[in-house]
Amino acid sequence: MADGKNVQVVLKSRPAGEPKPSDFEIVESAVPKPGPGELLCRTIYLSLDPYMRGRISGVRSYARSVEIGEVIVGGTVSQVVESNHPGFAPGDFVQGYDGWQSFGVSGGAGLRKLDPRQAPISTALGVLGMPGMTAYVGLLDIGRPKPGETVVVSAASGAVGAVVGQIAKLKGSRAVGVAGSAEKCRYVVDALGFDACVSHREPGLPAALKAACPTGIDVYFENVGGLVLEAVLPLINQNARIPLCGLISEYNAIEPARGPSLRPILFNRALIQGFIISDHLDRMPDFARDCSAWLRDGRLKYREDTVDGLANAPQAFIGLLAGMNFGKLLVRVSPDPTRYEFERQSTAATVDCRSN
């Protein structure tokens, strides 16, 4: 059924600082055979996400480390090739966690079947997947934006940030993004409908952010840390909420990074709440209902940055940590057989996809 080889990207050495291509190794082996109750899937899309930097670092984190020689973990959208599992048939599309490899065998646990007529299957890794749900839960349950409040989100053109700002707008808040280039800022305002966006690569970030938030900041959805957090804290209002989702600016740090003083948190009775989306799976039905509807209505837009070929995954991942991607970063591991079908059905208004 499955021709050829299973291509895998395994961890060759733990990166010190910025990962190098030589920290990864591409190996080939025979395509595995599914055992009783198992199914074999061909990977179509691999999701690349910042959390993976923690998994390959070997330091204490919220999840098990990837060991040297192991396939790197990651969310995938795949098509079933062979199935000994009664719930799945060859040809089904599924979202799972097969990692950085072109074929995966699993027992079906945690697999989610996808209907390519409802939404492009790649969205199961982005706006309708883990990043979208991270935005939804972090913003609504921790940030709790009220109409008229100002919501700031860093990495605003990224997979999570783009959804945060759009939901903030849907809830009647003012949305202000922080992104890594003038082009990304234009996209965030013009395509996604944020009220403003400032670049964190400009020297005047504190002043630009202050100008963009004339009534202060009520919610700061934190993806980045570092200089962005330092620019935000002096502007927070009383009872501000800071969902702490990521600190990507620190993930490659060798020495422990420093942060700003917590004084503004104290004086403003503000809240910082770290969260990991896997603790909030009870919110999945609400998320799926709301975001699917918003996506269908064209009220939720997204952008994908797709890299072709698993061999390019290491370099794409290195670029992700440096902010080189523009939109949800995906690796197309094998051709997407639904692509033509979806493009024929969809209207330009509902999605804003870019394919590199």
DSSP 205-238: HHHHHHHH-TT-EEEEEBSS-HHHHHHHGGGEEE
Contacts of residues 230-237 at CB distance under 8 Å and 24 or more positions apart, as own/partner, are: 230/206, 230/260, 231/178, 231/200, 231/205, 231/206, 232/152, 233/260, 233/264, 233/265, 234/206, 234/264, 235/209, 235/210, 236/264, 236/265, 236/268, 236/270, 237/150, 237/268
Q: Which is nearer to a copy of itself, 238 or 355 (CB)?
A: 238
**Shortest CB 308 distance to a copy of itself, Å:** 32
Q: Distance (Å, rounded) from C-alpha 76 to C-alpha 73?
A: 10
46, 77, 229, 321: residue in contact with a copy of itself (rule CB under 8 A): 229
Note whether 62 binds a copy of itself by CB under 8 A. yes
DSSP 172-208: T-EEEEEESSHHHHHHHHHTT--SEEEETTSTTHHHH
Q: What is the DSSP letter of 72?
A: P
Q: Distance (Å, rounded) from C-alpha 132 to C-alpha 128?
A: 5
Q: Which stretch binds a copy of itself (CB under 8 A): 7-15, 160-168, 272-280, 282-290?
A: 272-280
Q: Which is nearer to a copy of itself, 279 or 343 (CB)?
A: 279
**Shortest CB 222 distance to a copy of itself, Å:** 8
Element (H, E) at 314: helix 313-321
Count the neighbouring beta carbons within 10 Å of the beta carbon of residue 92. Answer: 18
34, 225, 323, 327: residue in contact with a copy of itself (rule CB under 8 A): 225
Note whether 272 binds a copy of itself by CB under 8 A. yes
Note whether 271 binds a copy of itself by CB under 8 A. yes
CB 110 within 8 A of CB 60: no
29, 110, 112, 267: residue in contact with a copy of itself (rule CB under 8 A): 267
Q: Which stretch binds a copy of itself (CB under 8 A): 95-103, 182-190, 256-264, 337-345?
A: 256-264
Q: Which stretch binds a copy of itself (CB under 8 A): 1-9, 99-107, 253-261, 294-302?
A: 253-261
279, 297, 341, 343: residue in contact with a copy of itself (rule CB under 8 A): 279
262, 281, 293, 322: residue in contact with a copy of itself (rule CB under 8 A): 262
What is the chain's alpha carbon radius of gyration, rounded to the nearest angstrom? Answer: 20
Interface with a copy of itself in residues 194-223 (CB under 8 A):
222
Note whether 17 binds a copy of itself by CB under 8 A. no
Give how far the C-alpha of residue 265 lies from the chain's centroid of Cα atoms, to the nearest Å. Answer: 27
**Shortest CB 299 distance to a copy of itself, Å:** 30
232, 270, 310, 318: residue in contact with a copy of itself (rule CB under 8 A): 270
Q: Distance (Å, rounded) from C-alpha 202 to C-alpha 205?
A: 6
Q: Which is nearer to a copy of itself, 262 or 349 (CB)?
A: 262
Note whether 60 binds a copy of itself by CB under 8 A. yes
Is 100 in a helix, a strand, or coil?
coil
Q: Which stretch binds a copy of itself (CB under 8 A): 17-25, 121-129, 242-250, 324-332?
A: 242-250
Binding footprint of a copy of itself on the chain (CB under 8 A)? 54, 60-62, 222, 225, 229, 238, 244-247, 250, 256-263, 265-276, 279
